[in-house]
């Protein structure tokens, strides 16, 4: 099989100009957004230090898109508030993987959802009742993601061992392993997330 092409290197200079080393041209954030839509892989480096700053540049692209008044906002305020609240929280260590898996699943399902929505818009008002099918798909996928998330959290549970001298003792934990109190709190937060999903599905 042919090897996957290396990502294009974009260099960012002190004057904030972006230089595409693949095309030997200066580009804008909008150009990078178009590359993302075309599924073209790239990484952004600080031209002076060589530091990888792809994360901050992608975040800046999202900021610009969300502030473009000619576009509809994609990130709801409630989502932004929840996302901010997770910074510094114990859930922060597992949330990135959860979000990444959710987006991958959504990307796989998007073509089927587009077809269902196109069919719904082309039907009569009575048939438009079927337009909630994509939402039902999203709800079901969200439930599956929550279950996957809960199963993943089981890996944080310390293995049990018999108590010694009639006392219950937790087994020694490896560095970075969560304690029973950590797990209890994480499970409570997962339960709260599940209740919110259930409430949304009933609306």
77-88 tens-digit pLDDT = 998 998 899 898
Global pTM reads 0.57
CB 85 within 8 A of CB 77: no
Q: What confidence category does residue 102 fall into, taking pLDDT thresholds of 50, 70 and 90?
A: confident
Distance CA 168, CA 41 (A): 52
Mean pLDDT, all residues of the chain: 74
Query: What are the distances in angstroms from CA 144 to CA 92, 137, 139, 197?
Result: 20, 11, 9, 11
Above 90 in pLDDT, residue 30?
yes
Residue 73 in tokens: 């906002």
Q: Which residue has the tokens 């041209």?
A: 25
Over residues 89-98, mean pLDDT: 82
Cβ-proximal residues to 127 (8 Å cutoff; 6+ apart), any chain: 120
- Greater pLDDT, 3 or 132: 132
Distance CA 39, CA 21 (A): 17
Q: Which helix (H) or strand (E) holds 150?
A: helix 133-153
Over residues 50-64, mean pLDDT: 96
Cross-strand partners of 167 = 164
Q: What confidence category does residue 7 fall into, taking pLDDT thresholds of 50, 70 and 90?
A: very high
Residue 7 in tokens: 């990502």
Position 174 scores a pLDDT of 46
Which of 103-107, 122-126, 197-201 ranks highest by mean pLDDT?
103-107
Q: What confidence category does residue 111 fall into, taking pLDDT thresholds of 50, 70 and 90?
A: confident
Which of 40-49, 121-130, 145-154 ranks highest by mean pLDDT?
40-49
Cross-strand partners of 11 = 19, 45
């Amino acid at each position: 099989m042919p090897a996957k092409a290396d990502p294009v290197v974009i260099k960012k200079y002190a004057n904030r100009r972006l230089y595409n080393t693949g095309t030997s041209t200066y580009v804008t954030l909008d150009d990078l957004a178009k590359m993302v839509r075309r599924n073209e892989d790239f990484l952004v480096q600080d031209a002076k230090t060589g530091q990888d700053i792809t994360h901050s540049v992608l975040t800046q692209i999202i900021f610009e898109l969300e502030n473009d008044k000619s576009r509809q906002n994609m990130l709801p305020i409630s989502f932004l508030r929840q996302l901010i609240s997770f910074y510094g929280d114990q859930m922060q260590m597992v949330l990135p993987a959860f979000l990444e898996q959710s987006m991958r699943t959504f990307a796989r399902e998007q073509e089927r959802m587009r077809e269902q929505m196109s069919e719904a818009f082309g039907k009569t008002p009575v048939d438009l009742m079927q337009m909630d099918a994509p939402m039902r798909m999203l709800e079901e996928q969200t439930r599956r993601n929550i279950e996957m998330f809960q199963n993943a959290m089981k890996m944080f549970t310390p293995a049990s061992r018999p108590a010694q001298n009639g006392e219950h003792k937790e087994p020694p934990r490896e560095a970075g392993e969560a304690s029973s109190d950590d797990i209890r709190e994480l499970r409570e937060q997962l339960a709260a997330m599940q209740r919110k999903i259930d409430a949304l599905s009933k609306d």
